[in-house]
Amino acid sequence: MYIVLLGPPGAGKGTQASLISEKMGLVHVSSGDIFRENLKNLTPLGKQAQAFMDRGELVPDDLTIAMVKDRLNQPDCQKGALLDGFPRTPAQAEALAAMLKEWGLTVNLVPYISVPEAELIERLGGRWTSQKGRVYHVKYNPPKVPGRCDVDGSPLFQREDDKPETVKNRIKVYLQQTTPLIDYYKEQGLLVEIDGTKSIKEVGTDLLAVIKKLKK
Ligand code: ADP
Ligand code: AMP
């Protein structure tokens, strides 16, 4: 089963993907996490992506598509994946469809987590991230020990691109380049809107309900 989590930056895609991937045994594939890992390891891809990420722009489609294809080709993704942050442009969506088609598969479901802009800014401003990409929030999801990940105890950090100026640009980029995917997937009958303003737990319950319905 291939599920695409759609929604603006800060909607809760990463938070929900971590919860659902454990419950459903689906691999969580976050394009942002893969870019950040490349950046940390100073790989050629990381160096190419850095300037775009720092400005809150999208990394060019050719680089992003090649990177995600590579990830989805790994054995652990053969039975499905929970995609978080990809696709973000119509070209990426087409590339994903073409790739799955080669395997005789399709995207099965696109939950669209909707949250108004003012709330996104507050969420991203208070986001703390672990080395492994687990996310916390000072107010809405605080770690048990301040500054430490609940799962592995690693130090939490604030992402460079969560600064207010960059957040504003990321939301603008999302509105311009990613929102066309809402209609794209709606036309294919795959889109299910989820109210992302509810609590983390409630959003998780709603998401699991739509995924389980699909499995029946
Ligand atoms: P995305 O992956 O869509 O960018 P995240 O999952 O990283 O978003 O969530 C952004 C921030 O908002 C994090 O700090 C997270 O703890 C917090 N958050 C996520 N979902 C909710 C929610 N339903 N209510 C309040 N805060 C949330
Ligand atoms: P995220 O972790 O999803 O918020 O992504 C962080 C940053 O990584 C984005 O602002 C982009 O610069 C880059 N990025 C992640 N996914 C994509 C994608 N699908 N297409 C282009 N750039 C991406």
Query: 156 and 129 in contact (C-beta within 8 Å)?
Result: yes
Of ligand 2's listed atoms, the one at least distance from the Cα of 161 is: 10
Q: 131 alpha carbon to ligand 1 midpoint, in Å?
A: 16
Q: 189 alpha carbon to ligand 2 midpoint, in Å?
A: 25
Residue 71 falls in the annotated catalytic set: no
Domains and CATH numbers, the chain: 2-115+179-215 (3.40.50.300)
Cα distance between residue 104 and residue 178, in whole Å: 26
> Which residue's CA is minimally distant from atom 19 of ligand 1?
12
Residues in contact with ligand 2 by the CB-under-6-Å rule are 9, 31-32, 35, 52-53, 56-59, 64, 85-86, 88, 92, 161, 170
Positions in the chain short of pLDDT 50: none
Q: Determine whether the shortest distance from the Cβ of 134 to ligand 1 is under 6 A.
A: no
> 147 — alpha (psi -120 to 50), left (phi > 0) or beta?
left
Query: 130 and 149 in contact (C-beta within 8 Å)?
Result: yes
Q: 107 alpha carbon to ligand 1 midpoint, in Å?
A: 24
Q: 123 alpha carbon to ligand 1 midpoint, in Å?
A: 6
> 146 — alpha (psi -120 to 50), left (phi > 0) or beta?
beta
Residue type for 201, please? K
- β-pairing verdict for 2-5 and 127-129: unpaired
Residue 127 falls in the annotated catalytic set: yes
Residue 148 falls in the annotated catalytic set: no
Kindly state the tokens that stand for 71: 């990830």
User: Residue 132: what pLDDT?
Assistant: 87
H helices present in the chain, as ranges: 13-24, 31-40, 44-55, 61-72, 90-102, 117-125, 164-173, 180-187, 200-215
Q: Determine whether the shortest distance from the Cβ of 135 to ligand 1 is under 6 A.
A: yes
Q: Determine whether the shortest distance from the Cβ of 15 to ligand 1 is under 6 A.
A: yes
Q: Which one is catalytic: 36, 71, 123, 127?
A: 127
Query: 174 and 115 in contact (C-beta within 8 Å)?
Result: no
